[in-house]
């Protein structure tokens, strides 16, 4: 079983508008996961009032969590099986890119500039998060790099308009 966590709890300050609500935001990502026959999709929505913004299963951040790193550590304890992360600003992700990630048996994709994109990590069922060191990237440091070839452009995320 694969669970997708759509990461949609950020404030989108640099973007200037809520990335999760944009045209290729969370709604699009739900459509994409349906096309890829994903077993379970959970939108990690941030503050509790945001739950009503999204369709399907949504989880607000626990009050004990104060960073994305802590939210991810908590969320991974709540499910069994493989996990695929998808940030809500994966505006270029397409079916072929997601299918490649899901079939990868685990890893962190490299974008077109060779940068690791840990928020698109595919985490196999038998794998455990690494110690955090306070950074999201450290949680996935033991996962191998995924060379994406022509799909690398789909692994970009966006923080500015």
pLDDT in tens, 1-52: 899 999 987 654 444 555 555 555 688 899 999 999 998 999 998 888 888 8
Name the average pLDDT for the chain: 88
Between 141 and 47, the more confident residue is 141
Mean pLDDT to the nearest integer, 130-141: 89
- Is residue 55 included in any domain, yes or no? yes
- Is residue 159 included in any domain, yes or no? no
CATH number for 121: 3.90.550.10
Mean pLDDT to the nearest integer, 50-64: 92
- Is residue 161 included in any domain, yes or no? no
Task: Say if residue 160's pLDDT is above 50.
Answer: no
Between 78 and 54, the more confident residue is 78
- Is residue 160 included in any domain, yes or no? no
Residue 158: band (very low, low, confident or very high) from pLDDT cuts 50, 70, 90: low
- Is residue 75 included in any domain, yes or no? yes
Q: What percent of the chain has pLDDT over 90?
A: 65
The Cα–Cα gap between 159 and 119 comes to 13
Task: Say if residue 60's pLDDT is above 70.
Answer: yes
- Is residue 64 included in any domain, yes or no? yes
Tell the residue number behind the tokens 């077109």, with chain if given.
112
The Cα–Cα gap between 95 and 98 comes to 5
CB hemisphere CA count around 102 (13 angstroms):
22
Q: Quick one: 128 exposed, middle or buried, by C-beta within 10 A (0-12, 13-18, 19+)? A: exposed
The strand pair at 122-123 and 82-87 is best described as antiparallel
Query: For residue 51, what are the domain limits?
Result: 2-154
Structure-block tokens of residue 68: 């994305």
How many structural domains compose the chain?
1
- Is residue 137 included in any domain, yes or no? yes
- Identify the CA nearest to 98 among candidates 144, 147, 35: 35
């Amino acid at each position: 079983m694969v669970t997708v966590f759509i990461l949609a709890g950020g404030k989108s300050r640099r973007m200037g508008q809520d990335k999760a609500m944009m045209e290729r935001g969370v709604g699009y990502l739900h459509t994409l996961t349906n096309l890829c026959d994903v077993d379970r999709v959970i939108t990690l929505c941030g503050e509790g009032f945001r739950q009503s913004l999204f369709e399907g299963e949504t989880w607000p951040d626990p009050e004990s969590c104060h960073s994305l790193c802590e939210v991810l550590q908590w969320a991974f304890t709540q499910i069994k099986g493989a996990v695929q992360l998808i940030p809500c600003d994966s505006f270029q992700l397409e079916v072929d890119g997601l299918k490649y990630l899901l079939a990868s048996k685990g890893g962190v994709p490299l974008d077109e500039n060779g940068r690791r994109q840990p928020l698109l990590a595919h985490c196999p069922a038998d794998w455990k998060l690494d110690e955090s060191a306070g950074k999201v990237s450290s949680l996935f440091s033991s996962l191998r790099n995924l060379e994406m070839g022509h799909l690398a452009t789909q692994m970009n995320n966006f923080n500015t308009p």
